[in-house]
Each structure stands twice: as C-alpha cells, then as structure tokens.
Amino acid sequence: MDVLSFPFICCKLLFFLSESSFASDTITSSQSLSDGRTLVSKEGSFELGFFSPGSSKNRYVGIWYKNMPVQTVVWVANRINPINDSSGMLVVNETGNLVLTSQNKSVVWSANLSKEVRTPVVLQLLDSGNLVLRGERDGGSETYLWQSFDYPSDTLLPGMKLGWDLKTGLERRITSWKSPDDPSPGNFTWALERQDNPESIFWKGSRKLTRSGPWNGLRFSDKVVFSRTLVNQTLSLRQRFVWSKATQSWELYTSVPIDQCDTYALCGAYGICIISYTPFCQCLIGFKPKSRGYVDWSQGCVRDKSLNYSRQDGFIKFTAMKLPDSTSSWVSKSMNLNECREKCLDNSSCMAYTNSDIRGEGSGCAMWFGDLIDITYFQDGGQDLYIRMSASELGAKGVPTTKIVVIVISTAALLAVVIAASYLVHKRRRNIVEKTENDQIQNIDLELPLFELATIVSSTNNFSINMKLGQGGFGPVYKGTLVDGQEIAVKRLSKISEQGLKELKNEVILFSKLQHKNLVKLLGCCIQGEEKLLIYEFMPNKSLDSFIFAQEICKILDWSKRFHIICGTARGVMYLHQDSRLRIVHRDLKASNVLLDQDMNPKISDFGLARAFGGDETEGNTNRVVGTYGYMAPEYASGGQFSVKSDVFSFGILLLEIISGKKNRGFYHSDNKLNLIGHAWKLWNEGMPSQLIDPCIQGSFNLAEVIRCIHIGLLCVQQHPKDMPSMPSVILMLGSETVLPQPKQPGYLADRKSTRKDYSSSTPESCSTNTITISELEGRGQANFAADYLAKNAGSVPLGFHVYQEPPVGHDPWLCYEMGQ
C-alpha cells in the first residue's frame, strides 16, 4: 500500500464514521438525516426515516414500528407536502429549528419554533415513538423545544395527549389519511371540543359520529386533554384509522369498547339509548315518540305535557346517565347544585342541569339549553341529570313544596326498604335456583364428559384475550388446546347472565342427544362454582358470515363450495326437524351460526335458543320471542308462533345471503328502500334474478343451478307458513330438476326503517360485526323496566319505557373497534 494513501484512507474512514456512527437515536445541529438513512430509538421500538406509502412514489418523513413485519407508520411530518425524489434532508439548522429540505434546499416542512435557539440542540427519537428536540430554555434548564406528540397524525400512541393546551392554544387531534397512498389529512377526525363542557368527538367531515360525553372534573386541570398510558411497555398499543379493503373506507381501530348506544344521536331528541333493552331507543318519562305509527327514532320524542317555561316548572332526577351533547351547554365552577337549579328555572331555555364536577359531594353547575340529544343509560356508572318538566307532569299542582319533599322522602325510604328486602330474597332464591340448575345439569344423563375447570383454564391460557374467538349474547367464546393437542372452542357463560344459564342448560340437554355431521360436536361441559362452560370441537374456518360478507376473501367460496354449504346446512336442519331423537326448532339459524371446518363443511351451532317438541307436536307459541332480526319468520316475530317452518324461513334468508353476498338485515340499495328479500322478489318479478348473484362467484357457477336456488330461497320466505316447503322438500328440490311452484309474495318486503343508514354489505377485514341477538321482545314492558330501574336507583324516578317491535339501528360501517397490536 502506498504510504501517502494511508492517511487519505484514514480520513475517509473517519469521515464515514462521523456520518454514520453517531448515536442511532439522535442527530445534532452538525448532522443531518438523508433519504435512505434512519434513526432507531434506544430499545429498538421505533424507526424514523423516509418512506413511500402504498403504491405512491412520493417521499415522506415518518415514524414506524421497527419490528413489525409490515411497515406501520404512526406519524408523518410532511403530510401535505411530499417530496417527489430522494433529495430530502432532515436537519437541525443554525437557529435550532428542525427542517426538512429538498433539491435546491427549499424548506418542505418545519417544526416552526417560535424563537431561535442558539444553544446546542439535539433531535432524538424516544422509545415511546415521540420525536423530540432537546435544548435549553431561558434559565438554562434543558427541555423539549418541540415534540411530535404535540402534532399527531392518524395514531394515538401511549403518552400522547388529545385536545387543547389552554395556555398556548395548541390543539392536538387525530385525523385519518386520505388513502393508503396519501397520508394527507382525510375525512375522519377524533378531537376534543373546546367549550365550557368539553368532550371528545369522532367526526366524519362535519358530521358527528360518536362522542364521549362531557368531562366531569376528574380528568383535567389547566389543560383540556385525553391521554393514554401503557402499563406493559413491551406492548405496541395504538389507536389509529386504517384502510378497509372490504368497505373501501377508513376504519378506526382502538382498545375502547363500543356498542350501538355509542352512535351519535341514535334516539333523537329526548330519546334515551339502553343497550340491554329492545329496542335500544326509548323515550324519557313524560315523553312519547314524535313519529306516529311506525316509530322513527331519529325524530326523537316530544313532551306529553307542555312546559310553562317559568318557575312553575320542576325537575325530574334521572340517574346513571351519559350526559347530553354539551354543544349548547354552560358551566359555572362556583355554583352549587341548588344555585344551579334556581338559575336554570329562571332561564326559560334551560332544559336540564347537573353538577359539572362529581368529585367528593359534587360541585359546580352545568346547564343545557334547547333539546337534549344523545343520552344513554348506563347500568353501572353515569351521572345524575335533572330534566325540566311541567308541574302537571310532576303532579305538583296546588301541593306545597314542603309536602312534596316529605312525600318524596317518605316514599323513597319505604321503597328503599322494600327494594332491599326484595333484593335479599331475590338473591337467596337466585343462589338456590343456580345451585339447583347446576345440580340438574350435572345429574342429567348427558352422554358426554364433564371437564375439570383447571383443564379448561390451562387450555385457554386462563381465558386470555388473545385466545378469544368472539362474543355472543351468552358470553365470550375462547380457543383452547388440550394436553393431547386437540383444539377446542370454549363457550363461557357470563356470570351476570340469568338467561344464559337457561340457554346453557337447554343446549347441554339438547346437544347431548344430537349427532350429525352437519352439527357442531359438543365435546363436554364444565360446571364448577360460578364457572359454566361448554366445550365444542374447534372450527378453524370460523363462521360462514366471515367469508360471504367480506369482499377481500369472498372469492375463496366459489359457487361449488357455496352450494355444498347450502346442501349441508339443509341436511343439518332436516336432521333436527325429522331424524333426531327429538323434533327440534333451532330458532336462531343464521350465517354466523353456521361454522366451517377445515374442509369448508358446514356445521350448525348455538342451540341455546332451540326448542324441542314432543309426541305429535309441530308448533308452539311463546311470549318470549328469541332469535335475530332479519332471520325471524313473520308469524314468530309478530305473534310468537313458531314451528319447523320458522327454521325454513331462516334457511331461505340464509340461502339468499349466500347467493348474493349481502346481509338481509341492513341491506341497502340506492334505487329502492327494499331489504334483501324485497330486492330479490323485485328482480324475480322483473325477470332479472341473475342480478342478485354475488360478483365474487362470477365465472364459477352454473346459471340455471343458481337461479334454481334463488327460486327455492323465495319459496322458503313466503308470507304464510302453509306455503313454505318442508326441509325434506327443500333437499329434494336442491338435488333434482323437478318443476318448482311459483313463489308467492314474501314477508318483510320493505326495509322497515325507511331512514336506515347506508350499511356496508361486507365486514371490515379485522372486525366481525355480528347481528344483534334479541333475547326478549315481548313480556317485558314499562312496569318491568321501571322495577329494574328502581332496583338500581332507589329514590329516583324511573325512566319511561315504550316497547316497539322494530330492529335497533346499528353503527355507521366505518366505526370498528378492537385491540391494537
């Protein structure tokens, strides 16, 4: 080697080291980050660098999870100003500001520090995913001059804050990307409303989708923020909007649970959503539905008796409430509750009031003006709300206030004693009943084994959330693996479900006597202490609905597989009706209750709602209508009359869903207000039944065979049971080319809610949206609800309760919640 070249090589090596061996999580004002290089946080959790999203060629600076197999970006700097080549450079400039430049050194993006910083500044990527500029403020103390956590993109990471810094005016909000190829701000936003009574709201453009309810004094001081912390730092928990191939729209993924009552303004003005009742929407006491005939809950409720809008009015106390939309509200921290009441009475526009701060005995005053919107009843939690009512509604005309107080207190005290005594008696009876039920189940000649609880706990990793397969009205279902390697599915009865115990007993008794290749096999049960478990064979392909309603995987089920599933399901139902030791009506036949084994063979599951007939019985009647809206036969849903034809109707719905790839419940067509049955009937009469066929099976079917199946489906869903074929006849029709009778008009032709929202016909790829199962419809009227409410809220006035036999409205299709990675 030339002696003169050695110093040159050393210099080049030192230069290379100075450029590439600086601390991998930091750069200083003497360094820069060019396209192709990255920063990695100290523990290797996050990485920062240049990237191109999706199929885009544009370059952005972003932060993503370092160790995820698929690049998952959680923050983007230049969301609205991409770079179109690889000339980008991220640098801390001479004034201490963080800037992103390209080509001719023009600034593409900047941290926009308000003041120049002459002291040394360091840019560091932390293991929290926060990108920070560290430097000295006036006074010499080191601090964060800027941080990416103050400027979220589409992801809320642990430690981030959502909302307003009232000192600086900085707002932190989460906004979706426009598309997988474009991270610029999209149409969905999660933000905190800056108002007297702040609350977090999810927006689609300018439309509210759901809200948290106003904050109550336990969460904020000088900053209006929502923050998340992470106990286990080894997890990567995030809250973000992601793109769904199924719906071609953005979906919100989060660890916060949601139900139908979280849908904004679901029940309209003065309507209240109660998740445990059917329908979900009710009117508050003293109110009635605004619409006449069929109840359109979006129109809300109106008062039974008009207000005087003066001090002659009074208030009714409602407890356990999610407070109304606080857009038209006012808050005073200095008033107490009595002062709040007086001020509300003096203002004719004030419709409700409560404490704004529930710490201790409660303090502050919050008042609502105008209609009360988006109220929910919580069985556990919630707040008191005092709603303005007519004096005549309160029954207070001519009665002195003192006397009212005495009457109310006396009545409340007496009621409390009665409720307490009733509760103790009920609890004792329930314990006796539960013990009797358990003993009965264990003493029945089940013809199947009893599992030890320890075995099931071990097989499911102590019922780990990671082993959870789904959630039904009965309770959660978990995957488990026995010591011998056999995979199982474990249905766990919810401890608070009285009805579930009856359904479990029903399923054990019936299932132990059923054996058919198209029924899910019950392997055993476990009744030990409070735990009540059913153990089934595991179905690796889950349920039929997860295929036919998901556009990204629906092609897996071509027509031959779908026809195989149709025939297998029909044979399973015929076995229940005719060939089993008992004549059984399933009463909840639907796509989510048809499971698929590894070879895509169908197996009917979930016999908790089934009914067995004895002797020559062929039909029954009940005051307790159970099943799922969209699959119930008309005579059953309206009158409680059920028979084997009830399952035939449900099978017909299932058949049309398999062919169309669309759900009957929530089906939407832009040209009409028909449901799937009505749409199929319309196409049949117009001679265009082929338009019903799912595009996912195009090219894989015999047209005549599919049209024949549509014909059979329409025969099954005719209005009157006497016109419907039996299941043996259905199987004969499926397996032959005999001439079929012409179908008569089906039941439920129209979508019974003309204002129904546009639901997606397919399920987001990682979110299974199950149809709501109705456990009780009739026989649970206003008196029962009032008794339940009073049992939980002694001394409070019960909510009004109006029962209408219409299906509850679900969520907007975009909103889907599940655990983050």
Q: Quick one: pLDDT band at residue 692, thresholds 50, 70, 90?
A: very high
Q: Regarding predicted confidence, which is higher, 428 or 465? A: 465
Mind listing the pLDDT tens digit for each residue in 654-665? 999 999 999 887
* Least confident range of 83-87, 132-136, 431-435, 500-504: 431-435
**Residue 809 — pLDDT band, cuts 50, 70, 90?**
very low
| Residue 701 and residue 559 in contact, taking contact as beta carbons nearer than 8 Å | yes
What band does 759 get if pLDDT is binned at 50, 70 and 90? very low
Gap between the Cα atoms of 92 and 121, Å rounded:
8
Per-residue confidence (pLDDT) for residue 801, from 0 to 100: 26
Cα angle 639, 643, 644; round to 5:
145
**Structural domains for the chain:** 19-151 (2.90.10.10), 167-399+782-821 (no CATH), 444-537 (3.30.200.20), 545-774 (1.10.510.10)
Q: How far apart are CA 211 and CA 325, in angstroms?
A: 8
Mean pLDDT check: name the lowest of 242-246, 327-331, 516-520, 588-592.
242-246
Sole residue written with tokens 């953005």: 250
* Residue from 156, 277, 130, 137 nearest 226 by CA: 156
Reported as a single tens digit per residue, the pLDDT across 448-499 is: 678 999 999 999 999 888 898 877 656 788 999 999 999 999 988 766 554 4
Q: Which one has a higher pLDDT value, 436 or 392?
A: 392
pLDDT at 33: 94
Task: For residue 158, give both structure tokens.
Answer: 């642990």
The predicted structure's pLDDT at residue 131 = 96
**Measured at the alpha carbon of residue 221, what is the angle toward residues 217 and 223, in degrees to the nearest 5?**
120
What confidence category does residue 821 fall into, taking pLDDT thresholds of 50, 70 and 90? very low
437: region left, alpha or beta (phi > 0 left; psi from -120 to 50 alpha): alpha
Give dist(CA 243, CA 767) in Å, integer: 12
| Mean pLDDT estimate for the chain | 75
* CB-CB contact of 660 with 648 (8 Å): no
Check residue 718 and give its pLDDT.
Answer: 92
Residues 6+ apart with CB under 8 A from 695: 661
Q: Are 728 and 578 in contact (CB under 8 A)?
A: yes
Residues 647, 585: contact at Cβ < 8 Å?
Answer: yes
For the segment 214-261, what is each residue's pLDDT rounded down to a tens digit?
766 654 333 444 444 443 444 444 555 555 555 566 555 543 335 678
Backbone angles phi, psi at 242, to 5 degrees: -130, 160
Six-digit token string for 663? 């759900």
Pull the structure tokens for residue 137: 């403020």
Q: Which one-letter DSSP state was computed for residue 546?
A: H
Q: How far is CA 303 from the centre of its chain?
A: 32
> Which residue from 600, 592, 518 is spatially nearest to 557, judged by alpha carbons?
600
Percent of the chain residues topping a pLDDT of 70: 68
Average pLDDT over every residue of 15-36:
70
Active-site residue among 588, 647, 751, 788? 588
Say what the pLDDT of residue 248 is.
60
Residue 98 burial (CB < 10 Å; 0-12/13-18/19+)? buried
- Residue 709 confidence class, pLDDT cut points 50, 70, 90: very high
What share of the chain has pLDDT > 90, as a percent? 33
pLDDT at 419: 67
pLDDT of residue 743: 93
Residue bearing the bigger pLDDT, 812 or 650? 650
pLDDT category, 138, cuts 50, 70, 90? low
Least reliable range by pLDDT among 321-325, 416-420, 444-448, 572-576:
444-448
The verdict on whether 758 is a catalytic residue reads no
**Geometric angle at alpha carbon 749, from 744 and 752, rounded to 5°:** 155
pTM exceeding 0.75: no
Q: What is the pLDDT of residue 749?
A: 61
| Cβ burial, residue 438 (10 Å; 0-12/13-18/19+) | middle
Give one word for 300, left, alpha or beta, with left for phi > 0 and alpha for psi -120 to 50: left
Give 270-323 pLDDT, tens digit per residue. Answer: 999 887 676 788 899 889 998 876 678 889 999 999 998 889 999 999 888 889
Greatest Cα-to-Cα distance within the chain, rounded to the nearest angstrom: 114
Give the model's pLDDT for residue 80: 93
Q: What is the pLDDT of residue 224?
A: 44
- pLDDT per residue as tens digits for the range 771-801: 222 222 222 333 333 333 333 333 333 232 2
How far is CA 438 from each of CA 251, 686, 692, rounded to the nearest angstrom? Answer: 43, 56, 48
- Please check whether residue 321 is in contact with residue 376, taking contact to mean a CB–CB distance below 8 angstroms: yes
Closest by alpha carbon to 590, among 652, 514, 520? 652
CA atoms within 13 A on the CB side of 81: 12
- In the Cβ-directed half-sphere of 432, how many Cα atoms lie within 13 Å? 6
Cβ contact 593:654 at 8 Å: no
Residue the block writes with tokens 């619409």: 291
The least confident of 398-402, 447-451, 516-520, 735-739 is 398-402
Range 101-125 burial, b when 16+ CB lie within 10 A, else e: bbeeeeebbebebeeebeeebbbbb
Tell me: the pLDDT tens digits for 351-363?
999 998 887 778 8
- 37-63 burial, b at 16+ Cβ within 10 Å, e below that, comes to ebbbbeeebbbbbbbebeebebbbbbb
Tell me, what amino acid is at 767?
C
Mean pLDDT of 143-161: 88
